Each structure stands twice: as C-alpha cells, then as structure tokens.
Amino acid sequence: MTDDGAEAFDTLMAAADPPLIVVTTAAADEQAGCLVGFHVQSSITPRHYCVWLSKANHTYRVSLRSKSFAVHFLTSEDLELAERFGAHSGEDTDKFAGLDLDHDEYGVPLLEACPNRLSLERISLLDDGSDHVCLTSRVRSAHTSGDFTPLRVSDAAHLDPGHESEERAIQP
C-alpha cells in the first residue's frame, strides 16, 4: 500500500471508532484479560462473534490454552478499567487484584462492574501471518443491564498499550 493509502486507511478506521471491550479468559490456574478494539459479530444464525488478539499479549498466550472467553462491553464510565486492562500486562501485574469478580462455570473471570457481556466458546483460531490472531466463537450467552454509552477507541487513544504489536515473540 502507498503512504497515502495507509493514511487514508488510518483515517477511515479512526472514523469508525469502535467500542472498547475487555476480553478475559482462563487456562488451568492462570487468568488473563486485555482491552480490545478489534471485535465484531460475524454471523446472525447462529450468532457468532470474533475478537482479534495481539500476538504480543499475555492474554493471547493464555488464550491458546483456553476455549472459553468473556467479552465485557465498556461504558463511558469505564476509562479506569480500560487503563488497567489496556496499559498494563498480566506478565508483571495482577490486573484482577482488588476488582469485584465472579467466575463462570469454565473458570473465566467476569468483571462485576461490567454487566454488559458475552460468554464465548472458541470455534477456531485464524493466524493469517499478521500481528493479531482472530478467534471465531459461538455465543454461549449474553447479558445486558440495558442501554449504555460505549467507551470508544477515541476515548482511550491517550493510553500506551501494555504491549505494542511489534513486540510479538516471532517476527515474520
């Protein structure tokens, strides 16, 4: 792609300004979670959902050993949670410390402060050679407390990610 094309792409993505979620998962005795802007519904019948995890992230590494995930939709009140899960890594911080937590039947941590959420079962993991992998999933259940104003990528643009995507262990 040309430099102009790349700039246009970035402008279009900024205009789309997706809502932010926190994805959590667990494997054996390890739990993980990170802030995610790349996510979308991917089928109507049955209802499927995709999230993209950066290969640089601790959450990605734990996700390889798990089939179960929770997606928490953040509201405009949740900037602190966005910072906790998006600007720190589970490698060296316990992101869940001090939070009110529940766990679903698969051991996945649920953030009680975020009642708008999905429970997902991974179907496949697509690695197309880029810096993120796509997890496709079946929606096991969904819960909402009603209408909310989403926290969006533009609201969190000032955060420095706990891991930059270039930090992935295996370079192309």
Residues at the site binding ligand FMN, with contacts judged by CB under 6 A: 32, 34-38, 52-54, 57-59, 86-91, 153, 156, 159, 161-163
C-beta of 57 vs 137, nearer to ligand FMN: 57
Nearest distance from C-beta of residue 162 to ligand FMN, angstroms = 2
Q: What are phi and psi of 45, to 5 degrees?
A: -130, 110
* Rounded CA separation 4/21 (Å): 30
Nearest distance from C-beta of residue 37 to ligand FMN, angstroms = 4
C-beta of 4 vs 19, nearer to ligand FMN: 19
Contact at 8 Å (CB) between 22 and 10? no
Closest alpha carbon to 107 in 91, 115, 98, 96: 96
C-beta of 3 vs 128, nearer to ligand FMN: 128
* Rounded CA separation 142/89 (Å): 27
Nearest distance from C-beta of residue 88 to ligand FMN, angstroms = 6
Q: What are phi and psi of 10, to 5 degrees?
A: -65, -35
C-beta of 37 vs 107, nearer to ligand FMN: 37
